[in-house]
Structure 1
Amino acid sequence: MTSSTTPAPAAAALPPRAGRRCHGVLNTIHTTHYFAPDPGRELAALGITHPKAVNFAIRGAAMGAVGAGVITAAFYNYKPEVVARFVPEVWRTATPEDVLAARLRAVDSTLRRLLGEDAVSSPEMTEAAGLALRAAEACSPGGRPLYAAHAALPVPREPHLAYWHAATLLREHRGDGHLVALLDAELDAVEALASHTATGRSMTPKWNLATRGWSPEDWDAALDRLRGRGILDAAGELTEAGVALRQRIEEQTDRLDRAPYEHLGAAGVERLTELGSAFAGAVVRAGAFPGDLLGKA
């Protein structure tokens, strides 16, 4: 006796780099608060005023009152001595729980200002939040400390905050996997920054030094090491081998990050990318990021 049940059609395969493109628009929304004044105002009310202390606190609070070594390892590309100036002292000023609450208030005011009330309360925002949260269901915590810490936090009820929360989960999931690729490529923290800057798709040296705590001498020494490995040429441009290395890093990152986007499916990823692109474009047009943030120089 044969079954009359018709097998369900196979899900459409994801187009190449579909997950990477989707992550890119989601990460734009996640990143807005790092360049906004709102976190600084919220944390100043808790007694945390230095910009680097604010940065370490708002991203690290999900892991609890951890020490400088944990922050340095998880963030990867910050100068350890700079981290140690503010951590764990920051947790003696404010608890991680208070910082997390302040961060969410800051994200709320940032997104309302950049996107406007109509977008924040739109059906498209609710749809995007649902799709992003569905993708995040397939994220894996193993070997991913920042993702795992944020995954333990409750999902905010308001759609724009739920969307930001899901974008954060997907960003940290990809970011934690990206560190595996950097380690496999044997790039230390400054070499990773400098070689990425050489692609023209990352922060300029000025912004890397200002935000990550490295000195110009640290940066120049990293450039020399990259030249010694044949990754950069004498002018500081990526060599053919350097281009291939950065491509391998991104492809390995894609492989390690494929689960959430495969779980969402090709149609869902396409729709989330469409919705996310509109929101990302809006915050960029609203001036969320400095005009000189990205580039080689």
Structure 2
Amino acid sequence: MTSSSALPEQAGRTCHNVVNPFHSAHYFAPELSAEMAKLGIEKRSARYFATRGAAMGAVGPGAIAATFYNFRYELIAEHVPHVWTVTTPEEVLAARLRAVDGTLRRLLGDETVESSEMAEAAELALRATEGCSRRARPLYAAHADLPVPDAPHLAYWHASTLLREHRGDGHLMALLDAELDAVEALVTHTATGRGMTYQGVLATRGWSEEDLKAAQERLRTRGLLDAEGELTEAGVQLRKDLERTTDRLDRGPYEHLGAEGVARLTELATGFTTTAMGAGAFPASLFGK
């Protein structure tokens, strides 16, 4: 049952911003590295492509490039489909869930993982996912076909994954509409001060400094970036419009949950994410301006 009260502006985005880290923390966790190494996947990029892409099956580099958007195709092709000759998507998905369990227990502690608040968060987040749509959302749709884990902390993680990929698929639609290519999307996001650092982009996305400089020049030609690499007024507006479009395309789950449910999920998620980040869930070198 949804709440009849109106959803405040940006409530869905605010909720997503504190739910998403619960999903994404495992990408940086030693538990994932260890589990994937057991399957024969040692390299960081291969691990990420396999882990996040496994729900789609043993897809090739084209499907990964299309759904991940901002990675260099040649980097993807170095690892995919080779990873599927080493292991299977089913094995990767099982390893991922084991890694998530270990990661969350380390970051949050067993008491929080097994708390009534965690069970409540799982119930709320899963209810929100009932308002998601599979159409034109390949990463969300693939994950939505996976079973919901029994343990509340893993059920909440599963729901946070669905909410993250649902918004992400919609965000790619907004990027295409704004005519931002993969590198331009990264450059403008970094320029907001909320995206990856340029060093993080160079270390993880496969692009070179020349690629970033060329993208900056294209953005200057469009009047979106200034000579110092900062967003112009038009660039700031474009990023605001991108987020508003993404909000609109992602409103389904939060409208379904309702204002009271969204507020409570945001409260619970803020507590979990704050604790996880305080425990070092994310490498500081990759994020921040």
**TM-score, normalization by structure 1:** 0.96
Q: 1:78-157 alignment to 2 at 5 Å?
A: 78-157=71-150
Shift of 1:292: 2.9
**Which has the larger displacement, 164-173 or 217-226?**
217-226
Residue 63 (str. 1) matches residue 56 (str. 2): yes
Q: Which residue of 2 aligns with 1:159?
A: 152
Query: Structure 1 stretches (4+) deviating beyond 6 angstroms?
Result: none
Shift of 1:225: 0.8
Residue 226 (str. 1) matches residue 219 (str. 2): yes
Q: Which residue of 2 aligns with 1:42?
A: 35
Per-residue deviation, residues 113-154 of structure 1 (Å, max 9, x unmatched): 000000000000000000000000110000000000000000
Q: Which residue of 2 aligns with 1:210?
A: 203
Q: Which residue of 2 aligns with 1:176?
A: 169
RMSD: 1.0
Q: Report the secondary structure of 2:102's partner residue.
A: helix
Mapped to 2, the partners of 1:209 and 1:35 lie a distance apart of 17
Residue 197 (str. 1) matches residue 190 (str. 2): yes
Q: Do the aligned partners of residues 64 and 111 (structure 1) sit closer, same or farther apart at CA in structure 2, a change above 3 Å counting? A: same
Q: Which residue of 1 aligns with 2:12?
A: 19
- 2:242 counterpart (246, 249, 253): 249
Mapped to 1, the partners of 2:286 and 2:78 lie a distance apart of 25
Shift of 1:39: 1.2
Mapped to 2, the partners of 1:110 and 1:101 lie a distance apart of 14
Q: Do the aligned partners of residues 127 and 239 (structure 1) sit closer, same or farther apart at CA in structure 2, a change above 3 Å counting? A: same
Q: Do the aligned partners of residues 44 and 10 (structure 1) sit closer, same or farther apart at CA in structure 2, a change above 3 Å counting? A: closer
5+ residue gaps, structure 2, are none
Mapped to 1, the partners of 2:32 and 2:205 lie a distance apart of 18
Q: Report the secondary structure of 2:285's partner residue.
A: coil
Q: Do the aligned partners of residues 53 and 15 (structure 1) sit closer, same or farther apart at CA in structure 2, a change above 3 Å counting? A: same
The one-letter amino acid of 1:130's match is E
Shift of 1:254: 0.0
Shift of 1:294: 2.2
The one-letter amino acid of 2:216's match is L
Q: Which residue of 1 aligns with 2:279?
A: 286
Q: Which has the larger radius of gyration?
A: 1
Q: Which residue of 1 aligns with 2:26?
A: 33
Shift of 1:295: 2.2
Per-residue deviation, residues 243-263 of structure 1 (Å, max 9, x unmatched): 110000000000000000000
Shift of 1:10: 8.0
Shift of 1:208: 1.2
Mapped to 2, the partners of 1:117 and 1:295 lie a distance apart of 30
Q: Report the secondary structure of 1:292's partner residue.
A: helix
Shift of 1:221: 0.8
The one-letter amino acid of 2:73's match is P
Mapped to 1, the partners of 2:67 and 2:189 lie a distance apart of 18
Q: Report the secondary structure of 1:223's partner residue.
A: helix
Q: Do the aligned partners of residues 123 and 80 (structure 1) sit closer, same or farther apart at CA in structure 2, a change above 3 Å counting? A: same
Q: Report the secondary structure of 2:193's partner residue.
A: coil
> Is the CA contact 2:126–2:159 (under 8 Å) kept in the aligned structure 1?
yes
What is the number of residues matched between the two proteins? 288
Per-residue deviation, residues 85-138 of structure 1 (Å, max 9, x unmatched): 000000010000000000000000000000000000000000000000000011
Mapped to 1, the partners of 2:201 and 2:207 lie a distance apart of 8
The one-letter amino acid of 2:78's match is R
**TM-score, normalization by structure 2:** 0.98
Q: Do the aligned partners of residues 82 and 10 (structure 1) sit closer, same or farther apart at CA in structure 2, a change above 3 Å counting? A: closer
Q: Report the secondary structure of 2:4's partner residue.
A: coil
